[in-house]
Amino acid sequence: MDNPILLAVEHLTMRFGGLVAIDDLSLAARQSEITAIIGPNGAGKTTFFNCLTGFYRPTAGHITLTPPEGGSWALHRMQGYRIAKTARVARTFQNIRLFAGMTVLENLLVAQHNRLMRASVWSLAGLLHLPVYRRAEGLAVEKARQWLKRIDLLDAADQPAGALPYGAQRRLEIARAMCSDPVLLCLDEPAAGLNPKESLALNDLLLDIRDNFGIGLLLIEHDMNVVMRISDHVVVLDYGARIADGNPDQVRRDPAVIRAYLGADEDEPLPPEVAADIAAPPC
Amino acid sequence: MTPALRHAVIDAAAAALVAALLALPLLGFRLADSAQGLQLVTRLTWVPIAAGLVFAGRLGLLLAAPLWGRLLRQAPQGDLSVRGTNRRALLIGGALALGALILPLTPFGDRNLLDKATLLLIYVMLGWGLNIVVGLAGLLDLGYVAFYAVGAYSYALLAQHFGLSFWLCLPFAGLLAASFGILLGFPVLRLRGDYLAIVTLGFGEIIRVILLNWASLTGGPNGISGVPRPSFFGLPFVAHTPGNGSFHEVFGLAFSPNHRVTFLYYVILCLALLTNLFSLRIRRLPIGRAWEALREDEIACRSLGINPTTTKLSAFALGAMFAGLAGSFFATRQGFISPESFSFLESAVILAIVVLGGMGSQTGVVLAALLLVGLPEWFRDLQQYRMLAFGCAMVLIMLWRPRGLLAGRQPTIRLGADG
């Protein structure tokens, strides 16, 4: 039985002047699944994320989010911060964007801004130090503590986020996104710059999020060790268009994908060593 | 002669030569006013003296360079979070607040000192207000004095035309200044850094020029005089009232003009402490953290569902509100206001207080205000050299403590001990 569709992208097009970054792209991502988006450099993966999270306004097409609790959101028509606030789509960035001067704990509390803001009655209850706000703050800290335990940064809670090692910053950014209670989490190259051990830990973290939170994950990644091991579904982009779609095994064997990555011509047969490689099990 | 010494002497000689060339027209000749009109007086002896001083100074500086370098290296470059700084700042802050509270009771608390302290506290309050905008939200505001002017004029005009009392006008002035803050905030939401600074600079000038030219409302360059003085909850500070209702009569004291000075001092002390408490508290609230987060990375904020528009506007509005409150206090203290009091220089001084104090540090603002406003007041005897000393002091502070007197951010919350 398939999981219900969470995100449906239909005929999405994004043009920058004469450049077509995304060309009539349609895809779907399901709840409790990890959908990976791969493709050579410049294929339009990050542009797609920027359209999805409201940093760009798409030239044409629809992006519809159907959260499990019902209703649906037309993301292509929403303002950037509203997509995160109302539709609850969270994202991380290719080049880490933490609040470097603030502590790890503060980073996780900023992610819970909207809930705390309501609890503090737009700062009034907070200024008066009313119990209603203190309780909400306590809950927020507790939630942050849970996440810090999960990403193994509990001891670093009061350190500035910018002082953490690179791998820890990557994990913290994911935890920060998760603290905003998303229904869809978009990860832009979370394994970039990680060593193999950290990369394995990341796999576990992402699988843990998928299995225990029941949310959908969208993953842009170049590291095939990550993509092939944890994805339930892989979409391959090239020149802004979808060229393949399926489970990791299907995609791995797809000649169009190999051509896109290796740059062979459309009608040229695949070189024999590549054909052999395709048949081999994942490394 | 070691090569280092020879090098230093040559360098110092070159500096002395430049000084001599500069001193010749600047110090060597002087226009003197005499009975026969203006006369050119030569003071050529001053030129070698100046050159000699520069030579000695430069030589001394170069020879002391190794020592100097060591001192600079020792200077803390501002850790991101230092518990020591935190505790020290708290200690200094508490001592200063206590000192300020009992100042009028001490023997030094004469009228002159209280007057200066009142002026100082106005700047401290403005510094704390601007700290919300610049220190927390990271929005460089060069036109802060505009909101100060709005507060001052709104009290003066409300009191003059509607006869409203100071205490009634105070919240009005704050609200009016806050709405001006929002008015300025809207067009500049997309701007950051230098561009924002230029637009706010323009806004400050616009307000000043309007005050200068809208003569029918503001009195133009003549300003507004006869702004009512504040009363002690309805009891005026005057020698005689018809119904024996002035402050000293009700409390059975001998009349003294010092009462009003002391009262004004306590009013601004309360207003300033209110500003301080407010900013300390709001910094630990979600809105305060969102300001700091917005300063660090606006794109990440948007991806977390924080509305940058309302967040920035609230910083502008709250900062402006405190300037408005300070402004109406300024109007009631002076009894007279004119656009001259709200020039760009004031904005620059307030911004310098915030930057010199260490962005975001509340105690730092007090220390910087003492340095920047207090010292020039006390050293008026130095006359024109006052500003020279002032500039030197600023350069020295920035050399020794590049991130401000009390740099170092303290976390708004800790996991270890909450609160």
ipTM: 0.88
Owning domain of residue A221: 33-46+55-88+182-283
Inspect the interface and report whether the beta carbons of B286 and A123 lie closer than 8 Å.
yes
Do A73 and A200 fall into the same domain?
yes
Show residues of chain B in contact with A75, CB under 8 Å. none
Is 0.90 surpassed by the pTM of this model?
no
Residues A111 and A251 in one domain: no
pLDDT tens column, A230-243? 999 999 998 889 99
Could you tell me if residue A14 is inside a domain?
Answer: no
Query: Are A193 and A267 contained in the same domain?
Result: yes
**Tell me, what's the pLDDT at B79?**
40
The answer to whether B281 contacts chain A (CB < 8 Å) is: yes
Specify the domain boundaries for CATH 1.10.3470 within chain B: 88-400
Q: For residue range A145-191, what is the model confidence (pLDDT) as tens digits?
A: 999 999 999 999 999 999 999 999 999 999 999 999 999 999 999 99
CB A48 within 8 A of CB A238: no
**Residues A113, A194 share a domain:** no
* In a shared domain, residues A131 and A156: yes
Specify the pLDDT at position B78.
40
A154 and A206 in a common domain? no
Among partner residues A101, A123, A144, which is closest to B285 by beta-carbon distance? A123
Which residue is closest to B412 within chain A, CA to CA? A106
**What is the model's pLDDT at position B379?**
73
* A161 and A233 co-located in one domain: no
Confidence of residue A69 (pLDDT cuts 50, 70, 90): confident
Say yes or no: A267 and A249 in one domain. yes
Q: Where is the domain boundary, A167, A190, A207?
A: A167
How close is the nearest chain A Cα to the Cα of B415, in Å?
6
pLDDT score of A81: 87
Inter-chain residue contact A158 with B81, CB threshold 8 Å: yes
Complete DSSP assignment for B52-120: HHHHHHHHHHHHTHHHHHHHHHHS----S--HHHHHHHHHHHHHHHHHHHHGGGSTT--HHHHHHHHHH
Question: Cα(first)–Cα(last) distance of chain A, in Å?
Answer: 29
Q: Cβ of B310 under 8 Å from any chain A Cβ?
A: no
Quote the mean pLDDT of chain A.
88
What band does A275 get if pLDDT is binned at 50, 70 and 90?
Answer: low
Q: Does the residue A15 lie in any domain? A: no
Query: With contacts defined as CB-CB under 8 Å, which chain B residues touch A162?
Result: 80
Residue A270 lies in a domain: yes
- Domain end among A167, A196, A215: A167
Q: What is the pLDDT of residue A266?
A: 59
Residue at which a domain ends, from A124, A144, A167: A167
**Nearest chain A Cα to B295, which residue?**
A99
Least confident of A197-211, A247-261, B285-299, B388-402: B388-402
Closest residue of A to B277, CA-based?
A127
Q: Quick one: fold of B88-400?
A: ABC transporter involved in vitamin B12 uptake, BtuC (1.10.3470)
**Phi-psi region at A229: left, alpha or beta (left = phi > 0; alpha = psi -120 to 50):** alpha
Cα–Cα distance between B414 and B170 in angstroms, integer? 37
DSSP 8-class letter at B381: G
> Tell me, what CATH number does A233's domain have?
3.40.50.300
Q: Report pLDDT for B83.
A: 44
Chain B residue numbers with beta carbons less than 8 Å from the beta carbon of A98 are 297, 300
Strand partners of residue B230: none
pLDDT at A78: 87
Contacts of B80 in chain A (CB under 8 A): 101, 160, 162-163
Q: What is the band of A271 on the pLDDT scale with cuts at 50, 70, 90?
A: low
Q: Which of A204, A270, A213 lies closest to A88 in space, CA to CA?
A: A213
Q: Give a yes or no: residue A68 inside a domain.
A: yes
Clarify whether residues A275 and A190 are in a common domain.
yes
Q: Read off the pLDDT band of A143 (50, 70, 90).
A: very high
Q: Confirm whether A8 is domain-assigned.
A: no
Q: Are B414 and B83 in contact (CB under 8 A)?
A: no
Sequence-ordered list of residues with C-beta below 8 angstroms from that of A217, at least 6 positions apart, any chain: A33, A34, A35, A184, A185, A186, A187, A206, A209, A210
Q: Rounded to an integer, what distance in angstroms lies between the CA atom of residue A196 and that of residue A205?
A: 14
A88–chain B nearest CA distance, Å: 8
**Closest CA–CA distance from residue A112 to any residue of chain B (Å):** 8
Chain B CB contacts of A109 below 8 Å:
286, 289, 413
Closest chain A residue to B306, measured at CA: A81
The average pLDDT across A66-74 equals 88
- Do A78 and A121 belong to one domain? no
Q: Which two tokens stand for residue B191?
A: 């701007």
Quick check: B278 and A80 CB within 8 A? no
Chain B residue with minimum CA distance to A80: B302
- Verify that A75 and A119 share a domain, yes or no: no
Predicted pLDDT at A282: 52
Residue whose structure tokens are 């300063």: B295
- Residues in chain B with CB shorter than 8 Å from the CB of A159 are 81
Cβ-Cβ contacts under 8 Å between A and B: the total is 134
The number of domains in chain A is 2
Q: pLDDT 10s digit of each residue in chain B, 419 long? A: 678 788 888 888 999 999 888 888 888 887 777 777 778 888 888 888 989 999 999 888 888 777 655 555 544 444 434 444 566 767 877 888 888 888 888 777 788 888 889 999 999 999 999 999 998 998 989 999 999 999 999 999 999 888 888 888 999 999 999 999 999 888 887 887 788 889 999 999 999 999 999 989 888 888 898 888 887 777 777 777 776 677 777 777 777 778 888 889 999 999 999 999 999 889 989 999 999 999 999 999 999 999 999 999 999 999 999 999 999 999 999 989 999 999 998 898 899 899 888 887 888 898 889 888 887 777 777 767 777 777 787 788 878 887 777 777 888 888 865 43
CB contact under 8 A, B412 and A106: yes
For residue A17, is it within any domain? no
For the segment A246-257, the average pLDDT, to the nearest whole number, is 87
**A81/A201 same-domain check:** yes
Q: Is A159 strand, coil or helix? A: coil
> Do B364 and B85 contact (CB within 8 A), yes or no?
no
Judged by CB atoms closer than 8 Å, whether chains meet at B290 and A113 is answered as yes
Residues of A in contact with B296 (CB under 8 A): 99-102
